Chain A
Amino acid sequence: MNSTNKPQRTPAETQAIVERSLRRRYWAERRFRAYGFAAVAAGMLFLVYLFFVIFSNGLGAFQQTKINVPVFYDPAIIDPSGTRNPDDLHAADYAAVIRASLKAKFPDAEGRAASRELMRLVSGSAPFELQKKVVADPSLVGKTEKLWLLASDAVDLLRKGHIDRNLAEAERPLSDQQIGWIDKLQAEGSLDLKFNTTFVTGGDSREPENAGIWGAVVGSFFMLALTLLLSFPIGVATAIYLEEFASRNRWTDLIEVNINNLAAVPSIVFGLLGLAVFIGFFGLPRSAPLVGAMVLTLLTLPTIIIASRAALKAVPPSIREAALGMGASKIQMVAHHVLPLAMPGMLTGTIIGMARALGESAPLLMIGMVAFIVDIPKGVTDAATALPVQVFLWSDSPERGFVEKTSGAIIVLLAFLVVMNTTAVILRKRFERRW
Chain B
Amino acid sequence: MEGVAQVERAGINLKPSGRTSEPVPSLQEPVEPGKTVGNIAVDDPIFSCRDVDVYYGAKHAIKKVGIDVAKKQVLAMIGPSGCGKSTFLRCLNRMNDTIVGARVEGSILLDGKDIHDKKQDVVQLRARVGMVFQKPNPFPKSIYENVAYGPRIHGLAGDRVELDEIVHGSLQRAGLWEEVKDRLQHPGTSLSGGQQQRLCIARTIAVNPEVILMDEPCSALDPIATARIEDLMEELRQSYAIVIVTHSMQQAARVSQRTAYFHLGDLIEVGETDRIFTNPRHKLTEDYITGRFG
- A interface with B by C-beta (< 8 Å): 248, 316, 318-329, 332, 336-337, 340-341, 433-435
Contacts and interface: CB of A to CB of B under 8 A. Distances in A.
Contacts of A321: 95, 98, 131, 133, 137
B126 A327 contact: yes
A319 B153 contact: no
A322 B150 contact: no
B138 interface: yes
Interface string B119-131: 0000111110011
A323 B154 contact: no
A329 B155 CA distance: 13
Given A326-B203, A326-B207, A329-B123, A434 B187 contact: yes
A291 to B, nearest CB: 41
B149 interface: yes
Interface string B174-215: 000000000000010100000000001001100100000000
Interface string B139-164: 11000000001100110000000000
B50 interface: no
Interface residues of B, number: 27
Contacts of B224: none
Contact of A434 (B126, B140, B153, B200): B140
B140 A326 contact: no
A435 B204 CA distance: 19
A332 B153 contact: yes
Contacts of B130: 325-326
Contact of B124 (A316, A327, A341): A327
B55 to A, nearest CB: 17
A435 B130 CA distance: 22
Q: Is chain B's interface secondary structure helix, strand, loop, or mixed overall?
A: helix
Nearest to B101: A248
Given A319-B139, A435-B140, A326 B133 contact: no
A327 B153 contact: yes
A323 B150 CA distance: 9
A248 to B, nearest CB: 6
A434 B191 CA distance: 13
Nearest to B149: A326
Chain A interface mostly: helix
A318 B135 CA distance: 8
A435 B146 CA distance: 13
B153 A325 contact: no
A393 to B, nearest CB: 49
B268 to A, nearest CB: 28
Contact of B200 (A322, A327, A329, A337): A322
A256 to B, nearest CB: 15
Nearest to A316: B137
Nearest to A321: B133
B48 interface: no
A328 B95 contact: no
B93 A325 contact: yes
A325 B133 contact: yes
Contacts of B58: none
A340 B139 CA distance: 11
Contacts of A320: 98
A328 B131 contact: no
Contact of B189 (A323, A327, A435): A435
A201 B85 CA distance: 72
A323 B203 CA distance: 11
A324 B149 CA distance: 12
Contacts of B124: 327
Nearest to B126: A327
Nearest to B200: A322
Given A319-B137, A434-B140, A327 B187 contact: no
Given A318-B137, A320-B98, 10 more contacts: A319-B139, A321-B131, A322-B200, A325-B133, A325-B204, A326-B126, A326-B203, A327-B126, A328-B123, A336-B149
Closest 6 CB pairs of A and B: A327-B127, A318-B137, A325-B131, A435-B140, A327-B126, A322-B137
Given A318-B133, A329-B123, A336-B149, A324 B139 contact: no
B57 to A, nearest CB: 12
A113 B149 CA distance: 86
A359 B123 CA distance: 47
Contacts of A332: 153
B100 interface: yes
Contacts of A248: 100
